[in-house]
Amino acid sequence: MKKLFPPTLHLIVTLVWLIAASYLIFLYAPQEATMGEVQRIFYVHVPSAWTAMIAYFLIFLGSVGYLWKRRDAADDFAHGAAEIGFIFCTCVIVTGPLWAKPAWGIWWTWDARLTLTFVLWLLFVAYLMLRSYVINPGRSAVLAAVVGIFGFVDVPIDYMAIRWWRTQHPQPVIAGGEGSGLDPRMWVALLVTWGAFLCLFAYLMRQYLRLAALQREVTRLRRLRSSSQEA
Amino acid sequence: MRTLRVISAIFLKDLRVEWRHRETLASMCIFGLLVVFLFNFAFEPAREESLRLLPGLLWIAFAFAGVLGFNRSFAAERENAGLEGMRLAPVDPGAIYLGKMLANLFFMGIAEVVVVFAASLWYNFSFIPSLGWFALATFCCTLGYVAIGTTFGAVASNTRMREVMLPVLQFPVAVPIFIAGVESTAGALKGDPIGDYSYWIKLAAGFSIIFVVLSYLLFEYVLEE
């Protein structure tokens, strides 16, 4: 992996892909009929949301993997997915109101999707806060794994509860009823941007895993040195 | 059989400790009452308004009182090295969870009765006509809330600033319980036919079952050192 596709090359690919996506977003995709230019925020908003959800699933996989096999790598995987996913989820929460104000005339409404995204964001915050507040660092991986699994199991129930509680706004956007479909060029811009985000996600994840492995190595060497000094 | 003995031993131990201290239950009840009391200044509700706001008020009071109780439940164990003792005992960790959970459920139930009684007194509202469905809805939602609260209480007892950490962990996961709790108790208080809100009670019951089972399975990892 490292030889075949070195991190530097990965970074370059990511940057080029992001630039290409910007071209598609601003110049290639047609203007939306009713909302006008502001609708272009959609190409950032929706792929960020999809990426954040994938990240949440990866936390779950890492957590289960860690409790099962007790490999540090699985824990790093979950932790990295949480940190990077949190950034994407924040992106969704920030771009949402920016788009909602001109499109709907309000910054925020407690409709199903918004509420669910907000809950997801809070779950990311809880997971990351827990990781940094555990007293004994050796315990943080196990506790975070338990919380990661709880949060993941909770999301579908949340979805159901919030759906029943509020079903006003969400349907029309992508796969709604007839006449609500996207222009093919919009699909291209959307999917290419999502691809770019996933590529960025993978790059950050690689760097995170490398960093975590290095940190562990440093801790190990320090301990070795101090024990040899004592002897 | 053995599991049942462990569960009842832990449950009775928590009750006995509480009987000698009277700390947890007293603070839960007082805190719940304070929320109901402050509500009056926050909204100055007229009678009709207070009926509309009452379910939300009750669930805010329950939520905060609960967090207080779950925190105490494991903080006390940690201070007195009670968890070490339990870990050393050759018993199923899931049974320890169930014992603690039942004790928390018991305390929560008493605190809820006190809060509901005070709310009905101060806001001149009788719960008697709708008591059956109201009690069922509250029980199902409380069970779910206590199920996750006991596990997260144990998790949070491992952290600095656990008083902050517990609600941060607990509230986002408990969102379905809050919604179901407010909607179903509101339905019961208004005297709606049960069919109009029974799906909320079912949702809460499903949530409770899922998280009791999940906690039972994962509690072993929370306890280990």
ipTM: 0.88
Q: Whole-model pTM?
A: 0.88
Residue A212 domain-assigned?
yes
Confidence of residue A1 (pLDDT cuts 50, 70, 90): low
Query: In this complex, do B211 and A164 lie within 8 Å of one another by their Cβ atoms?
Result: no
- Closest residue in B to A134 (Cα) is B159
- Strands (DSSP E) along B147-207, which ranges? none
Least confident residue range of A50-59, A209-218, B1-10: B1-10
Residue A171 confidence (pLDDT) above 60: no
Q: What gap in Å lies between CA A38 and CA A29, rounded to an integer? A: 13
Confidence of residue A167 (pLDDT cuts 50, 70, 90): low
More confident residue, B43 or A87: A87
* Domain count along chain A: 1
Residue A115 domain-assigned?
yes
How big, in percent rounded to 5, are the helix, strand and coil portions of chain A? 80, 0, 20
Residue A174 confidence (pLDDT) above 80: no
Query: In this complex, do B203 and A134 lie within 8 Å of one another by their Cβ atoms?
Result: no
Confidence of residue A14 (pLDDT cuts 50, 70, 90): very high
Query: In this complex, do B155 and A130 lie within 8 Å of one another by their Cβ atoms?
Result: yes
pLDDT confidence of residue A195:
93
Least confident residue range of A192-196, B82-86, B185-189: B82-86
Average pLDDT value for residue range A110-136: 89
DSSP readout, B44-99?
A: ---HHHHHHHHHHHHHHHHHHHHHHHHHHHHHHHHHTTHHHHHHHSSS-HHHHHHH
Residue A155 domain-assigned?
yes
Q: Which single residue is written with the structure tokens 């005992």? A: B89
Closest approach of A63 to chain B, Cα-based (Å): 12
- Closest residue in B to A136 (Cα) is B158
Average pLDDT value for residue range A151-164: 86
Residue B92 confidence (pLDDT) above 50: yes
Confidence of residue B79 (pLDDT cuts 50, 70, 90): confident
Closest approach of B158 to chain A, Cα-based (Å): 6
Query: In this complex, do A150 and B183 lie within 8 Å of one another by their Cβ atoms?
Result: no
Residue A168 confidence (pLDDT) above 60: no
Query: In this complex, do B218 and A130 lie within 8 Å of one another by their Cβ atoms?
Result: no
B127-171 pLDDT, tens per residue? 787 888 999 999 999 999 999 999 999 999 888 888 899 999 999
Query: In this complex, do A143 and B155 lie within 8 Å of one another by their Cβ atoms?
Result: yes
- Strands (DSSP E) along chain A, which ranges? none
Q: How far from B216 is each of A147, A156, A214, B160, B223, CA to CA, in Å? A: 14, 20, 36, 25, 12
pLDDT confidence of residue A179:
47
Interface test with B, best of A69, A147, A152, A159 (most B CBs within 10 A): A147
- Window 163-192 of B, Cβ < 8 Å to A: 165, 168-169, 171-173, 175-176, 179-180, 183
Length of chain A: 231
Residue A130 domain-assigned?
yes
Least confident residue range of A141-150, A163-172, B106-115, B170-179: A163-172
Instruction: Return the amino acid letter for B16.
Output: R
Sort out which chain B residues have CB atoms less than 8 A from A130's CB and list them. Answer: 155, 159, 165, 168-169
Interface test with A, best of B84, B160, B179 (most A CBs within 10 A): B179
B79 touches chain A (CB under 8 A): no
Residue A15 domain-assigned?
no
Average pLDDT value for residue range A119-131: 93
B73, B74, B80, B81: CA torsion to nearest 10? 150
Residue A80 domain-assigned?
yes
Confidence of residue B172 (pLDDT cuts 50, 70, 90): very high
Residue A8 domain-assigned?
no
Average pLDDT value for residue range A159-167: 78
B54 touches chain A (CB under 8 A): no
Q: Which single residue is written with the structure tokens 């009391």? A: B37
Residue A23 domain-assigned?
no
Average pLDDT value for residue range A185-209: 91
Average pLDDT value for residue range A36-42: 82
Residue A145 confidence (pLDDT) above 70: yes
B103-136 pLDDT, tens per residue? 999 999 999 999 999 988 888 877 787 888 999 9
Give me chain B's average pLDDT, please: 89
Q: Which domain holds residue A211?
A: 43-169+184-216
Average pLDDT value for residue range A148-159: 90
pLDDT confidence of residue B90:
85
pLDDT confidence of residue B182:
92
Query: In this complex, do A164 and B203 lie within 8 Å of one another by their Cβ atoms?
Result: yes
B178-207 pLDDT, tens per residue? 999 998 998 888 888 888 888 889 999 999
Q: CB of B72 within 8 A of CB of B148?
A: no
